[in-house]
Chains A and B, each alone.
Chain A
């Protein structure tokens, strides 16, 4: 297995990022790609915009020296999530970006980043009404029949809801 010092990542619109391979030791996707046979010139990361990839690489850079065990399961209930002060920049970003980061983290398969973003999204969703959640994360991009059945479903859900 060859272990190059630098890895070049290509985003969806052709922008290239060259980073030390130590940054990406958490990314299962990159590790699998390194292990696989074939041309190791540049790795193409589809569906990721340069801005988001830049952010993800920043995260990787911050956490490059971390020696903790890689997370097997991003939502492990036995390991409580503790906020890292180095990640405050990621926690403060707007909702749209947060979604894109979650997506990118899932594509690159970095469990730490998945956990961070999922926790952040969960904390934003927490205690919100359906309308507020819709405004935040825009899940109503549906066909018309879906919207109709959605309303019916919503009523059922309301009845099933437990006032705590």
Chain B
């Protein structure tokens, strides 16, 4: 690593030329370019500013509102007595709290210069890239090596994803919720991170057991959802609220185990209908099953062959007595050629033509209760030809 990039080196440098070095050049020598780095020229060419005329703010009575007290010489110990290297040690001990660093930087000019050192912000940035807890990895990829402050600033505003640091280059990459998220949380999440970082209200209540009252104070992203509005919360926020309520993760887990699971339809509701044993119940109790639960209809003869043409919905059955049954959907035509059937010979002899009324009982006819049937039989001596048309009604 470069020598200048070590904070220890900065401290030693400060110690060595304590008197000669001005404060301004600490950035010059050691810091990488940051957006907060003061411009060199402004300090080199600066003239000692003339003392401003101190204004006496006086009201009508003439009493000075602002007292001009003479500058005191160190009545109290000040943090500014400490040398830079000691201040840097303190800054290093501060850790990764960004808020503290910023508020410390606002206290005075000299500390501000130290606080804006790029090296001070390195652990902060590195902390973003390292898993702080086992569950959350805040950012992916490699942490930036320089220009950390501008990186952090960009991260905080819109064009980088706060979690993964991916820069949005187009408006579509902002995602549908991008604008709203930016507005509410003042940071941006890319599409992928939005799906993992956000949690809706129902899930928040169910998984983290937070109350409605707690959620009222939390920031949320309103999301249109089927004409209604759904509330998206940051998962980390919800986790924090849950910790506030339950104290620890363990307590939350215990509380969750004590609660009854929500009464809702099991996902495998339909599975029982696929279970063959489910229907045994109906058999045992002599329920009358609707016909489609029954066995598929087969012709009376065991040695019958049925050919089905699926495209035309035509079924041709051949039996031993060479009868052909042609079925078109609800219409079936029964053709039988051969020797007279002794069982049905009586009805064939009469040259009957019966139309309507379900009295017909042709061989292999499968007419339903509301079916219509036409029946023609020609008896020519020894040979026998019969044609029957069945129109099966609905079930």
Q: Which residue of B lies closest to A159 (CB)?
A: B153
Cross-chain contact B106 with A77 (CB below 8 angstroms): no
What's the minimum C-beta distance from B340 to chain A, rounded to whole angstroms?
Answer: 100
Q: Which residue of A lies closest to B99 (CB)?
A: A164
Q: Which residue of A lies closest to B78 (CB)?
A: A138
What's the minimum C-beta distance from A141 to chain B, rounded to whole angstroms?
Answer: 5
Cross-chain contact B103 with A118 (CB below 8 angstroms): no
Q: Mark A82-115, 1 if CB is under 8 A from B, else 0.
A: 0000000000000111011011001000000011
Contacts of B259 in A (CB 8 A): none
Is residue A38 within 8 Å, beta carbon to beta carbon, of the partner chain? no
Contacts of B149 in A (CB 8 A): 160
Q: Which residue of A lies closest to B93 (CB)?
A: A122
Cross-chain contact B78 with A158 (CB below 8 angstroms): no
A interface, over-half SS: helix
CA distance A154 to B98 in the complex (A): 15
Is residue B90 within 8 Å, beta carbon to beta carbon, of the partner chain? yes
- A137-B79 contact, Cβ under 8 Å, with A125-B94, A127-B99: yes
Size category, A interface: 35 or more
> Which residue from A97, A119, A158 sits with its C-beta under 8 Å from B106?
A158
A126-B100, A127-B99, A133-B107 known, 19 other contacts, Cβ within 8 Å: A99-B78, A99-B82, A100-B77, A103-B82, A118-B93, A122-B90, A127-B100, A129-B103, A139-B111, A141-B72, A141-B78, A141-B80, A157-B102, A160-B102, A161-B98, A161-B102, A162-B102, A162-B153, A162-B156
Chain A residues engaging chain B, CB cutoff 8 angstroms: 73-75, 77, 81, 95-97, 99-100, 102-103, 106, 114-115, 118-119, 121-123, 125-130, 133-134, 137-146, 149-150, 153-154, 156-158, 160-164
CA distance A118 to B78 in the complex (A): 14
Contacts of B95 in A (CB 8 A): 122, 126
Tell me the chain B residues, 102-119 only, with Cβ under 8 Å from chain A: 102-112, 115-116
Cross-chain contact B78 with A139 (CB below 8 angstroms): yes
Contacts of A126 in B (CB 8 A): 94-95, 97, 100
Cross-chain contact A142 with B86 (CB below 8 angstroms): no
Q: Mark B176-207, 1 if CB is under 8 A from A, else 0.
A: 00000000001000000000000000000000
Size category, B interface: 35 or more
CA distance A99 to B291 in the complex (A): 94
> Which residue from B108, B112, B155 sits with its C-beta under 8 Å from A140?
B108
11 of the cross-chain contacts (CB-CB < 8 Å) are A81-B93, A99-B77, A99-B82, A102-B82, A106-B86, A122-B93, A133-B103, A139-B79, A143-B71, A161-B102, A164-B99
Is residue B52 within 8 Å, beta carbon to beta carbon, of the partner chain? yes
Cross-chain contact A73 with B8 (CB below 8 angstroms): yes
Q: Which residue of B lies closest to A73 (CB)?
A: B8
What's the minimum C-beta distance from A48 to chain B, rounded to whole angstroms?
Answer: 12
What's the minimum C-beta distance from A25 to chain B, rounded to whole angstroms?
Answer: 22
Cross-chain contact A125 with B100 (CB below 8 angstroms): yes
Cross-chain contact A153 with B112 (CB below 8 angstroms): yes
Is residue B170 within 8 Å, beta carbon to beta carbon, of the partner chain? no
Contacts of B93 in A (CB 8 A): 75, 81, 118-119, 121-123
Cross-chain contact A163 with B156 (CB below 8 angstroms): yes
Cross-chain contact B107 with A118 (CB below 8 angstroms): no
Instruction: With a 10 A CB-CB cut-off, give which of A77, A102, A114 has the most chain B CB atoms.
Output: A102
Contacts of B91 in A (CB 8 A): 122
Contacts of A119 in B (CB 8 A): 93
Cross-chain contact A141 with B97 (CB below 8 angstroms): no
